[in-house]
Amino acid sequence: MMNSSLSALVLSTLLAASAHATPAFKIVCELNAAHDTDTDRLDPQREIKLMREAVEATYPNLSPELQSIAEKVPFVINHSQKVLTKTYGGWSAEDDPEYRYPDTHFFGETYVDADGATKQGTIKTNYTEKFIRALDLGARLGEKDPAVRRGMLAYAGFVIAHELEHARQYHHKPVRDFAQEPSSIKDGLADAVVLKETKLKIEYEHQAFAAHRRYVAGKEADLTALADALEAYAKAHPAETQAGGAYALLAAGVANPFVARLRDEIKYIPLGERFTETAHILYYGQAVPPELTLRAKRLADTVRTARSAAASLDADISSTEAEWTKELEAMDKEWKSFMASGPMSEKLVQSFPYLKGVVERYERERAYLKEALKTP
């Protein structure tokens, strides 16, 4: 169900099949009481038209597997998630507050679960007010410059391809992560099952990055034309990208600035599924520190047991202690690459508060090991 606390009404349109047998895509525009007063929103029919054009342009260039998902999953213009819709381009089940694990059904589908209860599917792809505003301005500027219009559709396609890949993943094999299940970390120690799923979710992001970069490969010139045109428009019409302006969400000074992010995406197309250094820390930082803390706990338990046994038997375990010291040093090196990287480490803990307890537990186990192994 859409966010009922916002009393959201839903305006939807089922796109008619064209003469070229275009599928009947499900386009949904969320409506609520703020729609007519929020300057970041467009007329609903305009939003639907832009979304429809983007989906229809993207569909022929998708893989057969993603085409199949596009024919089933709703494309939701999201107005209910206030922070997300004004900051990012889109999201699907991987970050959707309305997704219900372990659902594998698409929003709008009704099914009966294993207990005989009737349920509604919750997998959808969400597109934001920022995304729609970018399409709107890109379409306007593209009326005079075909390259800008192609760039606008290429941008739309990479966001759509990315979110369809996430919808495909959760349709086949849904996962949880620590952000969704913070109670799965107790006293700084992670649940092994959720750790495994968190690592799989990171792999899902690799796949989604590969999908959208594969989609825009070869379209760099058009994307650059779009970025240049948006930047020039903002300079020529500064009031429109200030607070209250029609394109305030596309301003350079807001969170996740659109043009800067677009230029980054152009630069990173050759990376394929690989993360940038920053993205590597933010994604793997969700799983590696909890995993290292579990390893530190196991090593500390091993050292305690071995030292106790050695004391009772008056045995020499110095060679084994040397191996334990090497293991601790390797863990410390990897730990520091995530948790001692200055502002990025601070952002990591701010973004994923469960890491605070993980850090405290790691330091506790590390302190024991350094004392027990007499390391500096």
Tokens read off for 324:
């334990």
Residue 191 per-residue DSSP state: -
First to last CA, the chain: 56
Alpha-carbon torsion angle 177, 181, 182, 186, nearest 10: -100
CB-CB contact of 12 with 46 (8 Å): no
Q: What is the CA radius of gyration of the chain?
A: 25
Residue 366 and residue 331: Cα distance in Å, rounded? Answer: 10
- Number of CB atoms found within 10 A of residue 374's CB: 8
Does the reported pTM lie above 0.85? yes
Q: How far apart are CA 57 and CA 158, in angstroms?
A: 11
Neighbours of 107 (CB within 10 A): 25
User: How would you write the pLDDT of the chain (376 residues) with one tens digit per residue?
Assistant: 444 433 445 566 554 444 456 899 999 999 987 888 999 999 999 999 999 999 999 999 999 999 999 999 999 999 999 999 999 999 999 999 999 999 999 999 999 999 999 999 999 999 999 999 999 999 999 999 999 999 999 999 999 999 999 999 999 999 999 999 999 999 999 999 999 999 999 999 999 999 999 999 999 999 999 999 999 999 999 999 999 999 999 999 999 999 999 999 999 999 999 999 999 999 999 999 999 999 999 999 999 999 999 999 999 999 999 999 999 999 999 999 999 999 999 999 999 999 999 999 999 999 999 999 987 6
Tally of CA atoms within 13 A in the half-sphere of 335 that contains its CB = 22
Would you list the domain boundaries of the chain? 4-183+193-274, 288-373
Q: b/e per residue, 146-184, with b = 16+ CB within 10 A?
A: ebbbbbbbbbbbbbbbbbbbbbbbbbeebbbbbebbeeb
Rounded CA separation 314/150 (Å): 76
Q: How many CB atoms lie within 10 A of CB 23?
A: 16
Per residue in 245-300, pLDDT (tens digit) is 999 999 999 999 999 999 999 999 999 999 999 999 999 999 999 999 999 999 99
Question: For residue 69, how far is the Cα from the chain centroid?
Answer: 19
What is the DSSP secondary structure assignment for residue 120, as one 8-state letter? E
pLDDT tens per residue across span 13-53? 554 444 456 899 999 999 987 888 999 999 999 999 999 99
* CA dist 316 → 101, 307, 310, 321, 371 (Å): 51, 10, 7, 10, 18
